[in-house]
Chain A
Amino acid sequence: MPVEIRKLIVTVDETHREMGREVKPPTRRAAAVAVIANPCAGRYVEQLDELMAIGEALGGLLGTRCVEALGIAPDAAESYGKAAIVGERGELEHAAAILHPKLGAPLRKAVGKGAALVPSAKKIGGPGTAIDVPLGHKDAAFVRSHFDAIEVRVPDAPRADEIVVAVAVTDSGRPLARVGGLQKSEIEGKDGLR
């Protein structure tokens, strides 16, 4: 593994009741977060291949950890998303190198398959910075019940020379979703949109 991980945190968030109504089955969202050393911290690096390889390793590792934590078969995953927070001696493009060129393919494999763009967020921050990892249906981005985000925060990361990388996977949409739009049952799943 080409990535130096200081901490790995996996969280599962279940909603059982909302506004006095039972949510049955409970909606469940998982986030897997790695705190890694940033090999490009403090200097301008033109070719960010090392970070792209890190992204490839983390896409599989973090996606698999989410699916395992949910206790589901990979195909039962419904939404996914990704995000990164770069410590202050890095640059925003370091997050882009991790998240975009090579992270997607192994993440999609970890959830069976996924035609849709993996929604993402990135920022620069210090220890304890929070980020909302966007979520969208893995087969069809326009499924409205699955527009969501899950907040992640590591109290002691990222240090200045670190990057926090997060992947999120769900087995469901929002609790009590009821504002219409494209339904899960209407998905064609070919173009990743509808």
Chain B
Amino acid sequence: MIEVRRIRTQVEDIFHEFGPRAAAPQRRGVLAVVLGNPFAHRYEPDIQPMMDAMKPLGVELAQRLLEAMRVEPRRIESYGKGGIVGAGGESEHGHLWHVPGGYAMRTLLERHGVSTKAIVPSNTKVGVPGASIDLPLTHVNASYVRSHFDTIEVSVPGAPAADEIVFFLAMSTGARVHERVGGLRADEIQGVDGLR
């Protein structure tokens, strides 16, 4: 059921955006996996077996992304996920990733001492090969931390083909590089409800 065709890992360092140069760059990483879509070109009512089958893949890919980030796990402050379903599939197939992708990142980071009470935000769509998608990122422990609301535009050239799905995981070391619109601060987090 799980056929990995391609894996694409991207790590981006943002030093400034025409403001003062940050002491440490904001580092954002995205891992994309291109899978064959076993449900392409037909209506399959029972798609949850694929969700379960992808759990080990989610764990492996979360680990690979964290390693690609080349930072201490405790420096990961925000995360996100997403998917692009090829034209032979349906948008619901993109929603198979919430459990195996989201929980894999949270479990992995918790194991490294990072509290991850907050929901992993997500975007998913149907698209053509090379389609781009904007992945949301929010704080791992409190979604309302305003400095950490972020977006990263990603695409995989040539994917998804009609019978493929691309799933994404994203992590970031912190706030937007010139964040300055106030709101809940990271050091004000209560860390109980995953929101504030």
Contact partners of B13 in chain A: CB under 8 A = 7-9
- Given A5-B15, A6-B14, A8-B12: A151 in contact with B5 (beta carbons within 8 A): no
Do A11 and B9 touch (CB < 8 A)? yes
Chain A stretch 87-141: residues in CB contact (< 8 A) with chain B: 130
Do A10 and B17 touch (CB < 8 A)? no
Bound complex: CA A8 to CA B26 (Å): 11
- The answer to whether A16 has its CB under 8 Å from any CB of chain B is yes
Q: Looking at the complex, which one of B4, B9, B16 makes contact with A16 (CB distance below 8 Å)? A: B4
Q: Looking at the complex, which one of B6, B10, B17 makes contact with A9 (CB distance below 8 Å)? A: B10
Bound complex: CA A163 to CA B130 (Å): 23
Contact partners of B68 in chain A: CB under 8 A = 12, 69
Do A6 and B17 touch (CB < 8 A)? yes
* Distance to closest chain B CB from A62 (angstroms): 13
* Distance to closest chain B CB from A89 (angstroms): 14
Do A10 and B8 touch (CB < 8 A)? no
Do A155 and B153 touch (CB < 8 A)? yes
Do A9 and B15 touch (CB < 8 A)? no
- The answer to whether B11 has its CB under 8 Å from any CB of chain A is yes
Do B5 and A18 touch (CB < 8 A)? yes
Q: A17 — nearest CB in chain B belongs to which residue?
A: B5
Please give the number of chain A residues whose Cβ is less than 8 angstroms from any Cβ of chain B in the complex: 21
Chain A stretch 13-34: residues in CB contact (< 8 A) with chain B: 13-18, 26
Bound complex: CA A7 to CA B27 (Å): 10
Do B5 and A6 touch (CB < 8 A)? no
Do A15 and B132 touch (CB < 8 A)? no
Q: Looking at the complex, which one of A7, A26, A130 makes contact with B15 (CB distance below 8 Å)? A: A7
Contact partners of B18 in chain A: CB under 8 A = 6
* Distance to closest chain B CB from A115 (angstroms): 29
Contact partners of A5 in chain B: CB under 8 A = 15
Bound complex: CA A69 to CA B15 (Å): 20
Do A151 and B157 touch (CB < 8 A)? yes
Is the interface on chain B under 10, 10 to 19, 20 to 34, or 35 or more residues?
Answer: 20 to 34
Bound complex: CA A12 to CA B153 (Å): 17
- The answer to whether B63 has its CB under 8 Å from any CB of chain A is no
Do B5 and A15 touch (CB < 8 A)? yes
- Given A14-B7, A16-B7: A155 in contact with B132 (beta carbons within 8 A): yes
Contact partners of A130 in chain B: CB under 8 A = 157
Bound complex: CA A17 to CA B12 (Å): 26
Bound complex: CA A26 to CA B64 (Å): 16
Do B4 and A17 touch (CB < 8 A)? yes
Do A13 and B8 touch (CB < 8 A)? yes
- Given A151-B157, A155-B132: A15 in contact with B6 (beta carbons within 8 A): yes
Q: Report B152-182 CB contacts with A as 1/0, cut-off 8 Å.
A: 0101010000000000000000000000000
Complex A-B, nearest 9 residue pairs according to Cβ-Cβ distance, in ascending order: A151-B157, A155-B153, A11-B10, A9-B12, A17-B5, A8-B13, A14-B7, A13-B8, A12-B9
New A-B contacts (10) at CB < 8 Å, excluding given A8-B13, A8-B15, A8-B25 = A9-B11, A10-B10, A11-B8, A11-B9, A13-B8, A14-B6, A17-B3, A150-B157, A151-B130, A155-B153
Supply 27 A–B pairs (Cβ within 8 Å), ascending by A: A6-B15, A6-B16, A7-B12, A8-B12, A9-B11, A9-B12, A9-B13, A10-B10, A10-B11, A10-B12, A11-B8, A11-B9, A12-B9, A13-B6, A14-B6, A14-B8, A16-B6, A18-B5, A26-B7, A69-B9, A69-B11, A69-B68, A130-B157, A150-B157, A151-B130, A151-B157, A155-B132
Which residues of A are interface residues toward B (Cβ below 8 A)? 5-18, 26, 69, 130, 150-151, 153, 155
